[in-house]
């Protein structure tokens, strides 16, 4: 058996477990594709070396105060200039676990990805939990099977595209 020829890096942050579930579902979908090594890293664990070693990316974050999480932002802060102009053209997609909207968090990731000259492979996948009270916002989330299937499908599509050399 030969070693995987492509690597998909999934970087995530999750405080209330929803984004972790989404990222793990994407990993499960991607892992079904032979020839692709799937690396799932928490944002605090990931850095420039991980970005440079990957051929494609999934960035996953909760929506926090209408923005991406601080820990995912920290990952981008630590990695941005170290990989600038070295990842041009690589594919990416994003997963957002939102309480209400998620579009601003998605836009923030898109702006960073544009700076890195990454190619979007899908519209941001936003799962809305409708958490609106402090208690609901801070509660542990349980992402439903249909939404987890959407995440799994996105992970599978990213890995298949990498394996086939489509992107």
pLDDT tens digits along 20-50: 999 999 999 999 999 999 999 999 999 999 9
User: Which domains are present in the chain?
Assistant: 6-164 (3.40.50.360)
Average pLDDT estimate for 102-127: 98
Average pLDDT estimate for 118-129: 98
What's the pLDDT score for residue 2? 56
Q: pLDDT category, 147, cuts 50, 70, 90?
A: very high
Asked whether residue 4 carries a pLDDT value surpassing 70, the answer given is no
What's the pLDDT score for residue 167? 86
What's the pLDDT score for residue 152? 98
Q: How far apart are CA 39 and CA 6, in angstroms?
A: 11
Cα–Cα distances in angstroms (integers) from residue 75 to residues 27, 28, 49, in the given order: 19, 23, 12
Q: How far apart are CA 60 and CA 40, in angstroms?
A: 10
Per residue, the 3-state secondary structure of 15-82, as one string, reads CCCHHHHHHHHHHHHHHCCCCEEEEEEECCCCCHHHHHHCCEEEEEEEEECCEECHHHHHHHHHHHHH
């Amino acid at each position: 058996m030969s070693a995987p020829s492509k690597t998909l890096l999934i970087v995530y942050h999750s405080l209330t477990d929803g984004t972790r579930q989404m990222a793990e579902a994407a990993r499960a979908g991607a892992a079904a594709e032979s020839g692709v090594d799937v690396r799932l890293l928490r944002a605090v664990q990931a850095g420039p070396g991980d970005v440079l070693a990957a051929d494609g990316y999934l960035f996953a974050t909760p929506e926090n105060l209408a923005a991406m999480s601080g820990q995912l932002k920290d990952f981008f802060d630590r990695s941005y200039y170290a990989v600038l102009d070295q990842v041009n053209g690589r594919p990416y997609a994003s997963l957002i676990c939102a309480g209400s909207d998620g579009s601003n968090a998605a836009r923030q990731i898109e702006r960073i990805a544009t700076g890195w000259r990454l190619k979007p492979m899908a519209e941001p996948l936003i799962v809305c939990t409708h958490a609106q009270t402090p208690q609901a916002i801070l509660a542990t989330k349980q992402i439903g099977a249909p939404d987890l299937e959407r995440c799994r499908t996105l992970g599978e599509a990213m890995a298949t595209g990498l394996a086939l050399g489509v992107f």
